[in-house]
Structure 1
Amino acid sequence: MNTGKLPNELMNKLLAKIHSNDPRVILGPSLGEDAAIIAMENRNLVVSSDPITFTSTDIGWYSVHINANDIATRGAKPLWFLATILAPPDTNESTIENVLSQIKETCNSLEIELVGGHTEVTESVTNLIVSGTMLGETINESILRTSNIKSGDSILLTKYIGIEGTGVLAHEFENILLKSGIDKSLINEAQNFIFEPGLSIINEALFSMDNFQIKCMHDPTEGGISTALIEVSESINKKFIIEEKNIPISSITKEICKILHIDPLGILSSGCLLIFCETSSAKALQQSLETNNIQTSIIGKVVEGNGVHLLENEIEKPMPEFDRDEIARYISETSKDI
């Protein structure tokens, strides 16, 4: 099998076999859903898990942010974090200490408590892996889920696509990019993408939830904006029409992807947030977010039908689909060449 996420068809097949017998499980595993929701006495517990496998640079920092984002897409505040660290035998103590320090510092910066986890040296991995579990809670009665999305709703996107992927590519393939002629200052700027504009979507997610009637939010991660939109579209059997010219992308991301022959629609995109809301409130939400210095674009709409389609010059074409993240594909093909 290819590295990366399992194909949607296989995921749906596997998830169809999972059924909850506990009535407190409001939302369990489902395609396009970022976190589970469990009813407690007077609030909802929100839970999500994600590993970091594409990079070892700042891996502790990544782990906290990626998992915190999933909680925030439910309109919940991330509060408690557990980390499992799996290290190959050649790992030194200072590396483990550095990863744990990153986790602690990032948790502190987001007012999250590190409450547990597991650390192990094992021959089962060849690279350091951090897998995190984040828990949060919400007292808001509105439950954000994909089934809330209806025909006529608008689709918004904060910041721009490929933020995480651009940072990973600039770190992992710096030498290749330098040899291609990209200026070192641009590579440094791209490497800093994970910090500025940053991977966290907590602020825009909680602001949107607190001030507007949001239908659903989704965090584009592995497989990029394309995979994120396709997952949600398939989960609700609705068609998404996306204005291609409205998809925000930085010039640096465009340049790096062009040199490496990577489609930016299919690269890691943590740092941006998909928001679904009624069209009547879309413009006000966009303006409010931008007033709070969060670039926001209205990129499309929900209609009856199936699939995700790009609209350019009044002509529709299917959104490109990726059987794995474009970075995973590039790494695989590059390693074969070596």
Structure 2
Amino acid sequence: MPGKVGSDDLTRHVFERTGAPDDRVRQGPGLGEDAAAIDVPAGTLVVSSDPISLAASEIGRLGVAVACNDVAASGAEPAWLTVVCLLPSDAPDTLDVITADLDAAAADIGAAIVGGHSEYVDALTRPILSLTALGFADPFVPTGGARPGDRVVLAGPAGLEGTAILAADFGESLDVSAETIDTANTFFSEISVLPAARVLRERATAMHDPTEGGVLAGLVELAAASDVELSIERESIPIRPETGRLCAAAGVDPLRIFGSGALVATVPGDAVDEVVASLAETGIDAADIGRVTTGERTGSVTLDGDTYEEPIEDGLYPLWEALDDA
């Protein structure tokens, strides 16, 4: 089954195998933590790596956004990028397309590409990128910082990236209008959470950007990392009309599809109205969607009465599998 490695295997094979101990590592590998944080003389350096494999026309810009989102969600300003670029041997022009896209996307957010590696691989049929983003955080905001009494804020609509994927990969087979498909295809350009993180990082106790498994998976990961319970109201979560139409046509939950473009944060209860208003002033759809509590089921999310503790499978994987089997 494709998707993320399970929490048990991560704990057994990854989190307990981290090389030499180092007191300068403020945040190392951990459940729900997408970026490392290292104390250096100039402050706290945040580092995150992410792979991506899509069509050449999208992969560069998406790769920059996805890698930098985890750094931004830790309170840092992305400053540097390294890129490993693996390319199909029979597509020599692909490098030009991808690097032009990388250059433009990095320049847009003020990050410099400082190194990496490029290679042609006979076995590949489409390009694969792996980007590492670095930046300094002041303050550093972990995924695991939520406290009882905090409110949960979602900055950006749920399922933005998944909506764009539905339009791009399944649009021709879904009973939706051409206008809906055209609009949804533009959502790929909106998946950076850096603008939202810039507003939130001064007040947030925790931040996390939902990716695979959507907003619901992101909430479960934040709850697990913080060892708290989250009580969430579905009707409060921002969802665009195009997301609703495409998800209804595909039979998937908008909260369980790729969620890049949204940022989950917890903030002190007395600051939530101010934070949501500040996000709205910058043009970001945001809402107070629930509260942080404690109890017997720490590491869980209650959504309209249903409780979730286990990793969430992304709703798009069964659709891709059905497409491959057809």
Task: Compute the TM-score of the two structures, normalised by the length of structure 1.
Answer: 0.90
SS at match of 1:173: helix
Contact 1:65 1:200 in 2 (8 A): yes
Name the structure 1 match of 2:261. 271
Name the structure 1 match of 2:44. 44
Pick closer, same or farther for the CA change 1:321–1:175 going to 2, 3 Å: farther
Q: Counterparts of 2:231 and 2:280 in 1: how far apart (Å)? A: 23
Residue 106 (structure 1) shift: 0.6
Q: Counterparts of 2:115 and 2:192 in 1: how far apart (Å)? A: 22
Residue 14 (structure 1) shift: 2.6
Name the structure 1 match of 2:281. 291
Among 302, 305, 317, the residue aligned to 2:292:
302
Name the structure 2 match of 1:80. 80
Which aligned pairs between 1:310-321 and structure 2 lie closer than 5 A?
A: 310-311=303-304, 316-319=305-308
Contact 2:74 2:143 in 1 (8 A): no
Name the structure 1 match of 2:148. 151
Residue 253 (structure 1) shift: 0.8
Name the structure 1 match of 2:110. 111
Q: Counterparts of 2:162 and 2:245 in 1: how far apart (Å)? A: 13
Contact 2:39 2:45 in 1 (8 A): yes
Map Cα deviations across residues 177-216 of structure 1 (whole Å, 9 max, x no partner): 3xx3x22121110000122xx111111211222xx43201
Q: Counterparts of 1:56 and 1:42 in 2: how far apart (Å)? A: 37
Which aligned pairs between 1:210-289 and structure 2 lie closer than 5 A?
A: 212-289=202-279
Residue 319 (structure 1) shift: 4.2
SS at match of 2:63: helix
Residue 165 (1) aligns with residue 162 (2): yes
Contact 1:72 1:202 in 2 (8 A): yes
Name the structure 2 match of 1:69. 69
Residue 243 (structure 1) shift: 0.6
Q: Counterparts of 2:231 and 2:294 in 1: how far apart (Å)? A: 10
Residue 322 (structure 1) shift: 5.8
Q: Counterparts of 2:250 and 2:57 in 1: how far apart (Å)? A: 20
SS at match of 1:126: coil
Q: Counterparts of 1:64 and 1:253 in 2: how far apart (Å)? A: 23
When the two chains are superposed, the root-mean-square deviation of aligned CA atoms in Å is 1.8
Residue 69 (structure 1) shift: 0.9
Pick closer, same or farther for the CA change 1:298–1:37 going to 2, 3 Å: same
Residue 207 (1) aligns with residue 206 (2): no
Q: Counterparts of 1:302 and 1:80 in 2: how far apart (Å)? A: 34
Residue 239 (structure 1) shift: 1.0
Among 176, 185, 193, the residue aligned to 1:191:
185
Query: What amino acid is aligned across from residue 195 of structure 2 in structure 1?
Result: N
Name the structure 1 match of 2:131. 132
SS at match of 2:12: helix
Residue 278 (structure 1) shift: 0.8
Map Cα deviations across residues 216-274 of structure 1 (whole Å, 9 max, x no partner): 11000111111111112122321110011111111211111121222221111111111
Contact 1:266 1:322 in 2 (8 A): no
Q: Counterparts of 1:319 and 1:54 in 2: how far apart (Å)? A: 30
Q: Counterparts of 2:15 and 2:303 in 1: how far apart (Å)? A: 30
SS at match of 1:157: strand
Identity %: 31
Map Cα deviations across residues 143-200 of structure 1 (whole Å, 9 max, x no partner): 31234211111100012101111111211223213xx3x22121110000122xx111
Q: Counterparts of 1:174 and 1:156 in 2: how far apart (Å)? A: 31
SS at match of 1:83: strand
SS at match of 1:325: coil
Q: Counterparts of 1:18 and 1:243 in 2: how far apart (Å)? A: 38
Residue 124 (structure 1) shift: 4.2
Q: Counterparts of 2:10 and 2:257 in 1: how far apart (Å)? A: 20
Residue 11 (structure 1) shift: 2.1
Gaps of 5+ in 1: none
SS at match of 2:205: strand
Query: What amino acid is aligned across from residue 324 of structure 2 in structure 1?
Result: S
Pick closer, same or farther for the CA change 1:233–1:124 going to 2, 3 Å: farther
Query: What amino acid is aligned across from residue 275 of structure 2 in structure 1?
Result: L
Task: Compute the TM-score of the two structures, normalised by the length of structure 2.
Answer: 0.93
Aligned residues: 322
Contact 2:56 2:97 in 1 (8 A): no
